[in-house]
Chain A
Amino acid sequence: MTIWQHLFSIEERRNWWMRKMPPSPLRDYYEVPFPDVESDWRQVDYLALDYETTGLDEHKDEILSIGYTTINGSCMRLADATHMLTRPRCVIPGESAVVHGIMDDVASSAETLEEVLPHLLRALAGKAMLAHYATIEYHFLSNACKRIYGFPFVGRVVDTLALEVRVFRSQEKPIQQGDLRLANTRNRYGLPRYRAHNALIDAIAAGELFLAQVANRQEKRTILKDLAVVS
């Protein structure tokens, strides 16, 4: 957290960096305005996103794969579903390979993050990023942008985990361990259990959860500000 984040809105930072930044995929991303926080949630486009990483530390660990698809209002489109492997700069730790199933030989034939990132930034332009526990996606992306383009990433973010915490709070229910896991949360909304673990199916899983959470809101009107964690 830098002081700038407290002093300026992300819209102001977008404008500032756009003027300062040399041409790059990140600058192209900033050229497109962020979705308006006052918009009805159905007017907003979202990018449901998930990574597989070698660990949880954005400074030490690396992104191994990226999966995403778009949601236009209340409809998720598989036409845009994308899954990309990235080549890490280090050897994949054994314990993480157990979770994501990505082995060294597969990863070594993948493209580098520098090659993959422009695709993701193009997909994110003009959309709100959507993920379950979005902190990971947001910070890994921002860290990668700083390393590759010299500037951090900012954008609108909707976090299905944060939305679920609000549901628990509004119902004054205590949160038990595991309650907020993606699979358990989905289960409460009657969503199917996906056996596989990969970035794309988890991104879709988060997207479906988001649609279920919004459909279950009691409020008459929901705007993006009601859903977003970073705005």
Chain B
Amino acid sequence: MEVELLEIRDFLASHHPFDQLSKESLNSSLGDIEIRYLRRGTDIDSDDGLLDSLYLIRTGAVELHNNYDELLARLAEGDMFGYRASHREEYENIRGVVIEDTLVYQFPADTVDALCDKHPQLDYFLAPVGGERLREAITHVGDEGDAQLSMMTAHISDLIKRPPVIMPPTATIRETAVMMSEERVSSILITQGEKLQGIVTDRDLRNRVVAKGLDYDLPITEIMSTNTCTADISDYAFEAQLQMARQNIHHLPVVDGDKVAGMLTATDLTKHHTTSAVYMVGDIYKQNNIESLQEISAKTPDLLVNLAAADVTADSAGHVITSVVDALTCRLIQLAQEKLGEPPVPFAWLAAGSQARSEQTAKSDQDNCLLLDDSYDEKKHGEYFQQLARFVCDGLNACGYFYCPGDMMAITEKWRQPLRVWRQYFSKWIEQPEPKALMLTCVFFDLRCVCGDRNLFRSLRKHLQEKCRGNRIFLAHMAGNAMSHRPPLGFFRNFVLIHGGEHDHTFDLKHTGIVPIVDLARIYTLAAGINAVNTQDRLKAAAEGGEVTEEGARDLQDTLEFVSFLRIEHQARQIRAGKEADNFMSPEDLSNFERNHLKDAFSVVRTMQNVLSQRYKI
């Protein structure tokens, strides 16, 4: 090429995907350009060669319509359409309308194919499936610190490398100690059959045997700790780490249902990484009043900034941030019990919405409810639980988790009920679905037991799943609601283009990017009777169960990660600038790269929404 074409090369170089090409590649592709001027009002359809060339807009604006005359996109400087670019959304009869006098750089189809052969970066960008691109984008943004914090999403099963070292209760102290030194372990599990009886650590041998001059031939049961807490093999490793911080222990037996599955040590975990969140959570359990809890939770924004700086995945960050509010909730319940006494009947404190899904960020309201044992008698016990709920919800509000505007909280009497009433609620919502009621109660279809009697929660979940499973009418209603949050069409200059051609000045990351995916995942979960609550987990489980295609689920998972990551970075930027974090991003703040990948994200969500609405014939 002639160096004198710098003006044109610089334009290409500042636009995705050409920005991915080397200078030399750009220079050699300049010769392939044809320049055309399209006057306002010009129509370009497939007869005019719309799909025979790839068009890059230099100045001006063009709209794309389908054959129902629906607006598909409005494009401006730096945007592309035509060959390959328009396949992105699999439009069939696509028509271009020039809405401002436009200068275009045109690459004939065979040139585009040749360029794509030569430059994989272009080929990738001009591939029809947006999900592939998003996957690439995520590795692009997250690869640095990811490994360090992968344990946030790792399950305990990923960390346990060897079968547990065990001894029967009949073994002597000496035999146990010999076994421990042979196996080079600092702790050992005492099991009867596959059932866990207790645990013995190096420290026990020191404190309870040597220091006390105990006979080594006594049975090991003399010195083992029996009421040890355990972790389930399917729990998050991070939860186990929190549990160990909370209890100040270094060994945690792991069970798989009733069976002993292994031992998790503090070293296993610190091999990975510890974050300030763990210390925050440890701190929370040491506080005795609201004021000091407030002080700690005021550091949550800093935590988010640190997570963003460490380049962790959005999914991990969600787990970490949520662990703070979980700990706050548990500590508030403990403090309430210190004040009010032991609970008169068993209860389970359930988190709803984003806390339940472990997807909180800097800006979250509280959504929760209280599930009581059926032995609950309002006259006798009502006062206790009302005060407990008041104490916890007020505490959360004081700590920055503000009261839910829709009163979806345990302080609302309606949401502080025994199991039988909750069952009735769900029966009614599921059997006689009303769109408006469902919109409000939707938050209760994401539930997680944060504190209290897990069995109570399991009974409710079982009931809910039995009612939902295969209930097409209910699922169709949920699907209908899910369609109320549609992603935008794309961007037009520094505006967000929404359906019908309207413009928005900002892009609502939450409602147009994240909520639609959360909604889709919830429906798959309800349809298939899946336990998972976290959206990433739900999508994975739904794909395994065949509720959604592997590819569809993967596209949604990556899209969610991409948009959530953008949100975390956006909020971290706001916090660093001393502003309050929100969910609104201006298109001006988006890089070319982000803009293009967001368009892919929108198209993935739209495709999956369309699949769902066809399935439920909405």
Residues of chain A touching chain B, judged by Cβ–Cβ distance below 8 Å, are: 67, 74-79, 81-83, 189-192, 194-196, 198-201, 204, 207-208, 211-212, 215-216
Residues from chain B with a CB closer than 8 A to the CB of A78 are 5, 8, 30-35
Whether the Cβ atoms of B103 and A77 lie closer than 8 Å is no
- What are 19 of the A-B contact pairs (CB < 8 Å)? A74-B37, A76-B36, A78-B32, A78-B33, A81-B1, A81-B5, A81-B30, A81-B31, A190-B100, A190-B102, A196-B4, A201-B7, A204-B5, A208-B37, A211-B37, A212-B101, A215-B38, A215-B39, A215-B42
A200 in contact with B2 given A75-B35, A77-B34, A207-B35 (CB within 8 Å): yes
User: Within residues 412 to 456 of chain B, which ones have a CB less than 8 A from any CB in chain A?
Assistant: none
Total count of chain B residues near the partner, CB < 8 A = 28
* CB 8 Å contact bits of B47-62 with A (1 = contact, 0 = none): 0000000000011100
Residue of B11, B38, B59, B106 most packed against chain A (CB within 10 A): B59
- In this complex, what residue of B is CB-closest to A197? B4
If over half of A's interface residues share one DSSP class (helix, strand or loop), that class is named, otherwise mixed; here it is mixed
A165–B100 alpha-carbon span in the complex (Å): 24
Contacts A81-B5, A201-B6, A211-B37 known; 19 new A-B pairs at CB < 8 A: A77-B34, A77-B35, A78-B8, A78-B34, A79-B31, A81-B30, A82-B2, A190-B60, A190-B102, A190-B103, A192-B58, A192-B59, A192-B103, A201-B5, A204-B8, A211-B36, A212-B103, A216-B39, A216-B101
Which chain B positions have C-beta within 8 A of A67?
Answer: 2, 4
For A199, list chain B residues within 8 Å (CB).
4
B59 and A190 within 8 A (CB): yes
Q: Which residues of A contact B58 (CB under 8 A)?
A: 192
Closest-CB distance, A103 to chain B (whole angstroms):
15
Decide: A75 and B106 in contact? CB cutoff 8 A: yes
* C-alpha spacing A196/B60, complex, angstroms: 21
Q: How far is the CB of A47 from chain B (nearest CB, A)?
A: 15
- CB-defined interface of B74-117 with A at 8 Å, one 1/0 digit per residue? 00000000000000000000000000111100100000000000
A-B CB proximity, top 9 nearest: A200-B4, A211-B37, A215-B39, A76-B35, A83-B2, A78-B33, A79-B31, A83-B4, A190-B101
Q: Tell me which residues across on chain A come within 8 A of B59, comparing CB atoms.
A: 190-192
Shortest distance from the beta carbon of B28 to any chain A beta carbon, whole Å? 11
CB of A111 to closest CB in B, whole Å: 15
Chain B residues whose C-beta falls within 8 Å of the C-beta of A189 in the assembled complex: 37, 101
- A78-B30, A215-B39 are contacts. A194–B4 as well, Cβ < 8 Å? no
Residues of chain A within 8 A of B11, CB atoms compared: 192
Q: Which of B3, B30, B100, B103 contacts A208 (CB 8 A)?
A: B103
Min CB gap A42→B, angstroms:
12
Question: Please, which residue of chain A has its CB at the minimum distance from the CB of B106?
Answer: A75
Bound complex: CA of A78 vs CA of B38, how far in Å?
A: 18
Q: How far is the CA of A167 from the CA of B16 in the complex (A)?
A: 38
CA distance A216 to B102 in the complex (A): 12
A191 CA to B100 CA, complexed, in Å: 11
Q: Which residue from chain B places its CB closest to the CB of A217 in the assembled complex?
A: B39
Counting chain B CB atoms within 10 Å of each CB, the highest count among A74, A192, A204, A207 belongs to: A192
Chain B residue contacts of A75, Cβ below 8 A: 34-36, 106
Contacts of B33 in A (CB 8 A): 77-78
On chain B, the residues within 8 Å of A195 by CB distance are 7
Instruction: Verify A79–B39 contact, CB threshold 8 A.
Output: no
How far does the Cβ of A116 sit from chain B's closest Cβ, in whole Å?
Answer: 14
Q: What's the least CB distance linking A193 to chain B, in Å?
A: 9
Cα A70 to Cα B8 in complex, Å, equals 16
A191 and B103 contacting across the interface, CB-CB below 8 Å = yes
Question: How far is A204 from B35 in the complex, measured between Cα atoms in Å?
Answer: 9
- CB contacts (< 8 Å) of A204 on chain B: these are 5, 8, 35
Shortest Cβ distance from A77 into B: residue: B34
Roughly how many angstroms separate A74 CA and B38 CA in the complex, as a whole number? 10
A17 to B8 CA separation, bound complex (whole angstroms)? 40
Closest B residue, CB atoms, query A192: B59
